[in-house]
Structure 1
Amino acid sequence: MAKDAQLKELLAPVVESMGFTFWGLEFMPNGKRSMLRVFIDKPDGITVDHCAEVSRQISAVLDVEDPITQEYTLEVSSPGMDRPLFTLEQFKQYANHIIELRLRMPFD
């Protein structure tokens, strides 16, 4: 199982049990500068306090389960106006909206 999928399986239930939508995550391994960014959402918006609350819960789970062996920084954030889309359902939700698309590899 890919690291992103493993982390999603571990963290999504934690976020959702707290009443937030698990929007997605980005894990960027890079030695001591590794970054785990978790995006949360809620219909009435996300505050800094929400991010801090979720960060504490996620940190506790990550400390116990230890899925990331190297040092990393955890960041919990709202997806914001320029929100990344992670799932087909999210893409469908934004059908007929103007989006900016970035590809990992060149295409045509």
Structure 2
Amino acid sequence: MKQWYASKRGACAEQYAKQYLIDKGLYFVAENYRVKVGEIDLIFKDHEQWVFVEVKYRENNTHGSAAEMFTTGKRRKLTRAIMCYLQSHDLNFHHTHMRIDLFAIDGDEVNWIKNV
């Protein structure tokens, strides 16, 4: 039951982030892109730049903030998933204008960190 509740909260956080970024002018491309090596929560375009967004949610920060949950290991998995996504869309990882953003939600506080 607890895992179901956590996944529902995570999905709500992703939907909130998606709408927030659309409202800020980003063009929505895809969500929950999954491959064996990792997952991309949200994919946007910001003019000609691809934006890959990791969404982290924490109800409170007693065990660390949402931003602190974006670890080196998670970044490595995300980067591998991005490489797969770009390859599947005939885009070169080294020649594609892109960035990774972190959308961290701590309770009611929203922090959109560009180009982490």
Do both share a fold (TM > 0.5)?
no
Which has the larger share of strand? 2
Q: Which TM-score bucket, shorter chain as reference?
A: 0.3 to 0.5
Q: Which has the larger radius of gyration?
A: 1
Normalised by the length of structure 1, the TM-score is: 0.42
Normalised by the length of structure 2, the TM-score is: 0.40
